[in-house]
Amino acid sequence: MISSTRAFLFIGVCFCLLKPLYPKTEFPYPGDRPNGITLHAFVGGDIQVTPEKKIRRGTLIIRDGKIEAVGKNLKIPDGCREWNCTNQTIYAGFIDPYLLSGSENPKFLELNHDEHIHATADLSFHGIPSTGQDPGEKGPGFEVSGVHPQRKLMDGLQTEERKWGKLRKFGFTSAHLAPSEGIFRGTGPFVLLSDQEPNELILKNEVSQIIAFDPVGKKSSPPVYPVSLMGVLSVIRQTILETKYTNERARFESKNPVNLRLMPHTGVRALSRSLGERKSIPIWIEPGSCLMNAKAMEIAQEFELNNPVIIATGDEWRNPKISLSPHHDYILPMIFPTIPDLPNPEDWEQISLDQLRAWDHAPSMARLLNEMTRTISFTTSETEPGEFHKNLLQSIARGLPENSALASLTTNPAQICGVDKICGTLEASKLANFFIVSGETYFTENPRIESTWIQGRPFFHYPDQGVTDSNSTEKRNEQTSKLAQHPSRLNKPVLRPTSVLFSGFNLWSCEEESILLNHDILIENGKISKIGLNLKTKLPKGCKVILGKGRHLTPGIIDCHSHAMILGRVNESTLPSTAMVRIADVVNSESINIERQLAGGVTICNLLHGSSNPIGGQNAVIKLRLGESPNKLIFKKAPQGIKFALGENVKQANWGDKYTTRFPQSRMGVKMFFQNRFGAALFYEKKLKNAAEQGLPFRRNLELDAILEIIRGKRFIHCHSYRQDEILVFLRTMEGFGVRVGSLQHVLEGYKVADEISRHGAGASTFSDWWAYKFEVYDAIPYAGAIMHERGCVVSFNSDSPDHARRLNLEAAKAVKYGGLSEMEALKFITLNPAKQLGIDPWVGSLKVGKDADIAIWSGNPLDYRSRCVQTWVDGILFHEIEASAERDKKRADERLSLVTKAQQSLKKEISIEPSEKAKSKFFRYSLESACDLYPHSCRSNENHAQCLHQ
Amino acid sequence: MGETTTLYRAKKIQVTPSQFFQPGEILIQNGKIRAIGNSIKTPKGCKIIEWKNSEIYPGLISPGSSLGLAEINALRPTRDLSEVGTHTPAIEAWVAVNPDSELIPVARANGITHSLIIPMGGMISGTSGLLQLHGWGIEEMVIKKRVALHLWWPGHGLSIPQPSHKSKTKPKSIADQDKERIKRITEINEYFDQAIAYQKLKQSGDQSFVQIPSWEAMIPVVEGKVPIMIHADESRQIKAAVQWAQKREYQIILSGARDSWKHADWLAENKIPVIFRHIFSAPPHRSSPHDYYFKAPGILARAGVSLSIGLPLGGWATANQRNLPYHAAHGVAHGFSREKALASITIEPAKALGMEKEMGTLQVGKHATFLCASGDILDLRTRVEKIVIQGIEVSVESRHTRLNQRYKDRPRR
């Protein structure tokens, strides 16, 4: 892997060296001011040749823009212009490896939650050849918004003297100009930060293909695909697949005579250079959030992308273990959130631990990344150079070694940009890019930079004598410390015994028998191994014993309809079929809802796409293993599933007057839409078989792949539905394709067609008593669960809300109240029945020997309002224990208080540099991982779900 | 109202939150309670009703909803809960109640006999009325008009938004935002001062006086005849609102009151009645415990605050009014005594709305408004079997029971 990267670097460097390195104004035209001579010697100063090597009172000789020699006591060539550098230090010019460019006000990607859900019309289905208008990019190329790998920033390059001049004053001499728009953004050049003609500046035409996880579709009006994070990830997959397919087909056609050859379009051609064997242009990824770093690495592995450089957000403290990797190079922005000066003591109440942690971790991020990644480089993007410098010093004060800081500004960026043969150090034959600072070091509060030299040309800075007193150039060694903790300190199991005996509990087995009073249950290696009376006599060695004392023990609660741990939008609300998007891509392992729901006895959630489209995205069934990574939360044995939806939401009935042209707009069209997509999938299957038989390259389509899996019985449909007519029509339509529906979700009029649902064999996952929030639920009744149960349906109650998920046991109690069900049957509505609906009942959902030890313990009858969930176990691991959880809450409260004190004290200190607006507002921005907890989504309302739960 | 005398016998009668008779008997006449006890001497000709396996509780009082004003919240034609304008004190919520709303019998079927109907929209949204969930038309159903004036306290939050390159204006600094929130309180004062000036001018009989409906509606408020229900959630809002009211010597009821538990002792000391509507709200910060608000009612009640429990206000909660007892019940596992939980949906809201002489408990002389349930009214498994409102037995049927019956009886297919 590394060797191929090196090979590429070498090619890149050769390419550079072919260019004339010396300005063409060698012999000035009459009237032009001639440049100075190009032979210089810098004598008597300290020379920081590399981050590790410093020469005391050395000599640096440059000729024609390149370094000729560096060392101690060098012979100075005749005719040299000599510069006395006594009491000065010379550093290699700094390199910014990710200077955002290409738009008026380029910004880092900040993934965040928006309050509103939008959708749009007039779209073809992504991935289906030649349908309708081009929904995305104009002109040739990929037909999806933001996918323009062919764009080259180099083509429109202009100097940005206002910005670059400021950077030079802080020692920057070159940069990679990174494109800032789109998903596949294209490439940018590596340039000198000089004021010459653009042609003179480019050292390398294309550094890398930038992929950003940017839901670009939401910037359009009306919004277009993709607006969600999972949509972006699907776009990335489909685009890479398309490119690979085109190349395969081109290869195939070159070997087999064909009449009309496939002409790969410009997008494919551009992206091909980053895929396949050769990979002449590496891929860099800007994931936009901590958890998405891990996803970027996964995608890279999935498509063999050679460990791309990752652009960090500075939020990696949330989960360093999965967001940082020793196999990747990282680029770190230096935007530190600034604590505001709040007028009243009460105002501090509004400041959360999360905000304070982000503030306190910021200066420590450089050190953390430096320790945990292959290399780290800094970028000045979106910071003022002065602010960048201040933050750099803060990072050093938090323990980033100075030589690492230097490497992050010189050798590391040079290496990742593939210019390490010509930039990054002051070794002979490299470009004469450097700067000269007064005194012994650059790392002072107010470094006095005398001059910056780019390719042997000087820029003098004339530092203001008044401001710079002698003290400020003195080095400050004051170390600061971090108070904020990583979330992982508290997000972890309480206990992990190999075996546990629960002795003397009232067991709600949810199997044939009724409540087993005063029974024992033995857990070994995460599974239920014995149930009976008096199991105490033969216990495994070291078995932990927990005494029931009249308490109740139930299977862990299974929530068959949840959106509580999903990142970056629950709905890809643009296309009517989004079968290609995957909730598994955007599971929020950092969500606070995990522990809140564990505290209510929940052990499994069915995370579903929203209900905006007839065919929504693929679901993810997760176990609430607090503290584990998104991938480890996923319940691997659970059959795959997909969200479908009917009725008002999919026909955009409550979306406003703008949304009247997407098909379908009526229940008539909803039925036809399913027939269309299933028909398309069958046609696709035929082509697939045909291609396989004839050995032809096949164009994969992720949407139809998923629908085909449904037809083949490998993917369960979970269909949001309300009215009796649409329920029947949907069941019959699916029967027409030989498909049995896994579960009908909400299914509020299901009680009217319970016999038909039962005969079809679909599960019914409903609410206990919600109704009348929109017209199609005017006939919803709380007796529905009981009626459907009586008529043979497998019925569950779900939450569809992070609030209800905290108290599903009490929701189940309503089945006793309204339907007169037995208490055990009612409890099955939230345990065994949802397990059946999800196809996971062989492993979970009841207390049965051999099943997973997913267990909730209650202080009293779980259907009684006076009871509390005292313990929750997943796979035999204790994740919630009432006292331990309270202790954890207290630790967080204490941490918050101490951080408030620290923040208040820091405000009293003098602030040398006015923080930028960006830094001030950053304090009030929520990271993706936390924003998604603040705006809970519910299928009950699709117009403004935030309002739904907050009003 | 019922002319005859009726005696109800039940397994248990909850007279007040702290007092019950088991078994119990309650005698009613002309819609009022005449006697109550373990065993009452039965008058001649008295009708006797046996509810021997059931428990009787006072009718439950919802301290705020849009019942009758919102039918299906997603449908605009069915919403009458909010009006345009920032200061509309002359708006009267009860005039727009649809007596035949399907939501009313559904709420009633779980023992909700009264709800305060609150107007929304703007800072001063108007006055509320107390709706009895039974009667022929709104004139029978509205049993108290102008219960309170509704003041929605302005927000105190501070934030710096992302600088936008579309709008050239810089985000407002924290200091400027602080100035603005002080200004907003000054403006509230000014509005009430203008109302007082209007009232004085009117009294003076000066010829310059012109009758203005908005100011007319403010007169009983500034004269202290109508209390002000202040809707405030955050600590900062609550403190500012209570201090404002104390300074002006207004009688207030604090509604919403999300953070009120943090100031429980202070609110108790100052005798501020609180309607807490946030038991099921999401904890404010990610770091806040899951039971952050579950504990609040217990803390408030133990401090001695006069505490009612309500649902959140607005259209979405209207259809769920029947769950009022469970909003109160949820605090019980978290330190709220069952007695206080019962009080918070019966006598406490009656007091807060100035109706404690008529309702809220089953003491002699009060309205004969009660429910009969299969067990503890706070228990989610309990069924409400009968409702009596001012002596009249009212149907517990609803759209839900009708549809249930119809489809339960559907022949098997």
Q: Got the DSSP string for A790-833?
A: HTT--EEE--SSTTGGGGHHHHHHHHHHHH---HHHHHHTTTHH
Rounded Cα–Cα distance for residues A537 and A543 (Å): 12
Terminus-to-terminus CA distance in chain A, angstroms?
55
B48 and B114 in a single domain? The answer is no
Residues near A418 by beta carbon (within 8 Å), at least 6 away in sequence: A8, A9, A12, A13, A190, A204, A207
pTM: 0.94
- Kindly state whether A318 is in contact with chain B, defined as any CB-CB distance less than 8 angstroms: no
pLDDT reading at A41 higher than 80: yes
pLDDT of residue A125 exceeding 80, the answer is no
Residue B212: its pLDDT value, please? 97
- What CATH number corresponds to the domain at position B370? 2.30.40.10
Confidence of residue A911 (pLDDT cuts 50, 70, 90): low
* B380–chain A Cβ distance below 8 A for any pair: yes
Give me A164's structure tokens. Answer: 């670059």
Tell me how many residue pairs between chain A and chain B have CB atoms under 8 A apart: 190
Here the tokens at position A618 are 């693929």
Which tokens sit at A80? 């040299």
pLDDT classification of A666: cutoffs 50, 70, 90 = very high
pLDDT in tens, A831-854: 999 999 999 999 999 999 999 999
Contact: B236, A868; criterion CB under 8 Å: no
Mean pLDDT score of chain A: 90
B83 and B20 share one domain? no
pLDDT score at A475: 55
Cα A149 to Cα A106, A124, A272, A281, B99, distances in angstroms: 18, 21, 10, 11, 63
Chain segment B254-277, per-residue pLDDT in tens = 999 999 999 999 999 999 999 999
Q: Give the pLDDT confidence score for residue A1 in this predicted structure.
A: 40
Instruction: Mutate one of B72, B73, B279, B286 to test the A interface: name it (highest A CB count within 10 A).
Output: B286
Measure CA A547 to chain center: 43
Query: Using a CB-CB distance cutoff of 8 angstroms, which residues of chain B are in contact with residue A864?
Result: 379, 381
Whether residue A113 is predicted with pLDDT greater than 60 in this model: the reply is: no
What is the ipTM metric for this complex? 0.96
Q: Count CB-CB contacts under 10 A for residue B192.
A: 18
User: For B151-174, how does the pLDDT look when each residue is reduced to its tens digit (9 = 90+)?
Assistant: 999 999 888 877 665 566 778 889
pLDDT at site A740: 98
- Asked if residue B332 is part of any domain, the answer here is yes
The per-residue pLDDT for A117 is 25
d(CA B403, CA B406): 5
Are both B338 and B380 inside the same structural domain? Answer: no
- State whether residue A18 sits within 8 Å of chain B by CB: no
The CA distance from A600 to the nearest CA of chain B, in Å, is: 9
Which is nearest to B100 in space by CA: B367, B399, B324, B407?
A: B399
> How near does any CA of chain B get to the CA of A805, in Å?
11
- Rounded to whole angstroms, the Cα distance separating A137 from A709 reads 30
User: Does A114 score more than 60 pLDDT?
Assistant: no
| Co-location of B347 and B373 in the same domain | no
Number of domains in chain B: 2
Rounded distance between C-alpha atoms, residue A605 and residue A930, angstroms: 19
First vs last C-alpha separation in chain B: 47
Other CB atoms within a 10 A radius of the CB of residue B208 amount to: 6
A740-766 pLDDT per residue, tens: 999 999 999 999 999 999 999 999 999
Ramachandran angles phi, psi of A937, nearest 5°: -100, 150
Could you tell me if B187 and B320 lie in one domain? yes
Amino acid found at A434: F
In this predicted structure, what is the pLDDT of residue A465?
Answer: 52
Cα separation, B201 vs B217, in Å, equals 15
Which H or E element spans position A532?
A: strand A527-532
Question: Do B289 and A349 lie within an 8 Å CB cutoff?
Answer: no
With respect to residue B156, please indicate whether it lies within any of the assigned structural domains.
Answer: no
For residue A129, is pLDDT > 70?
A: no
Could you tell me the maximum CA-CA distance found in chain A, to the nearest angstrom?
106
Give the pLDDT confidence of A669-681 residue by residue, as tens digits: 999 999 999 999 9
Which of A343, A596, A814 comes nearest B290 by C-beta? A596
Which residues in chain A are contacts of B161 at CB distance < 8 A?
Answer: 921, 924
Indicate whether B109 and B38 sit together in one domain: no
Shared domain for B69 and B203, answered yes or no, is yes
Residue B170: inside a domain = no
Name the domain boundary from B323, B338, B354.
Answer: B354
Task: Read off the pLDDT of each residue in B89-111 and give the average, rounded to a whole number.
Answer: 98
Q: What is the pLDDT of residue A7?
A: 43
| Element holding B151 (H helix, E strand) | strand B149-152
Which domain, by its residues, includes B118?
Answer: 60-146+176-222+277-354
Q: How far does Cα A543 stand from its chain's mean position?
A: 41
Question: Is B329 a member of any domain?
Answer: yes
Cβ under 8 Å to B: A residues 72-131: 104-105
pLDDT in tens, B190-239: 999 999 999 999 999 999 999 999 999 999 999 999 999 999 999 999 99
Domain boundary among B311, B336, B354: B354
Residue B319 within any structural domain of the chain: yes
Lowest mean pLDDT among A283-287, A661-665, A732-736, A753-757: A661-665
Of A592, A863, A951, the CB nearest to B286: A592
> For position B106, which CATH number holds?
3.20.20.140
Cα separation, B275 vs B306, in Å, equals 9
Give the C-alpha separation, A476 to A699, whole Å. 61
Instruction: Rank A162-171, A261-270, B2-11 by mean pLDDT and report only the highest.
Output: A162-171
The sign one gets for the Cα dihedral A396, A402, A405, A406 is positive
Residues B5 and B88 both lie in one domain: no
Q: Report whether pLDDT(A471) > 50.
A: no
Q: Hey, is the C-beta of B166 within 8 angstroms of any chain A C-beta?
A: no
- CB contact A885 to B (< 8 Å): yes
A822/B contact by beta carbon, under 8 A: no
Of A16 and B148, the structure prediction assigns the larger pLDDT to: B148
Taking a C-beta distance cutoff of 8 angstroms, is the pair A325, A297 a contact? yes
User: pLDDT digits over A320-341, tens only?
Assistant: 999 999 999 999 999 999 998 9
B165 touches chain A (CB under 8 A): yes
User: Is A54 a residue whose pLDDT tops 80?
Assistant: yes
Q: Identify the three-state secondary structure at position A929.
A: helix
Tokens found for residue A44: 């008597």
Q: With contact defined as beta carbons under 8 Å apart, do A634 and A587 qualify?
A: yes
Q: What residues of B are in contact with residue A894 (Cβ under 8 Å)?
A: none
pLDDT greater than 80 at residue A20: no
Mean pLDDT for the stretch of residues A57-80: 95
Residues linked to residue A618 through DSSP beta bridges, in sequence order: A582, A642
Q: Which of B313, B339, B354 is where one domain is finished?
A: B354
Q: What local confidence, expressed as pLDDT, does residue A464 receive?
A: 61
Q: What is the pLDDT of residues A606-619, one digit of tens each?
A: 999 999 999 999 99
Answer whether residue B204 is part of any domain: yes
Residues B115 and B41 in one domain: no
Higher pLDDT, A479 or A23: A479
Mark whether B89 and B208 lie in a shared domain: yes
Of residues A580, A700, A566, the one with CA closest to residue A633: A566
Helix (H, G, I), strand (E, B) or coil at A758: helix
Tokens 């700094």 belong to residue: A94
Q: Which pair of tokens denotes residue B78?
A: 């069915």
Q: pLDDT digit string (tens) for A342-386?
A: 999 989 999 999 999 999 999 999 999 999 999 999 999 999 999
Confidence of residue B28 (pLDDT cuts 50, 70, 90): very high
Length of chain A: 951
- Rounded to an integer, the average pLDDT of A284-296 is 97
Q: Is A921 on the interface with B (CB under 8 A)?
A: yes
Q: Does A5 have pLDDT greater than 60?
A: no
- pLDDT of A212-235, one tens digit each? 999 999 888 888 999 999 999 999
- In which band, very low, low, confident or very high, does the pLDDT at B149 lie, cut at 50, 70 and 90? very high
Is the pLDDT reported for residue A124 higher than 50? Answer: no
Contact A350 B75 (CB under 8 A): no
The confidence band for A3, taking pLDDT boundaries of 50, 70 and 90, is: very low
In this structure, chain B runs to a length of: 413
Looking at the domain assignment, is residue B198 inside a domain? yes
Neighbours of A262 (CB within 10 A): 15
What average pLDDT does the segment A564-586 reach?
95
Binning pLDDT at 50, 70 and 90, where does residue A515 land?
very high
Q: Cβ of A778 under 8 Å from any chain B Cβ?
A: yes
Q: Identify whether residues B320 and B369 lie together within a single domain.
A: no
Q: Does B155 touch chain A (CB under 8 A)?
A: no
What is the residue whose two structure tokens read 């509060």? A445
Whether residue B270 is contained in a domain is answered as: no
| A808 pLDDT more than 50 | yes
B322/A771 touch (CB, cutoff 8 Å), yes or no? no
Is there a single domain that holds both residue B296 and residue B346?
Answer: yes
For residue A776, give the chain B residue with the closest CA.
B72
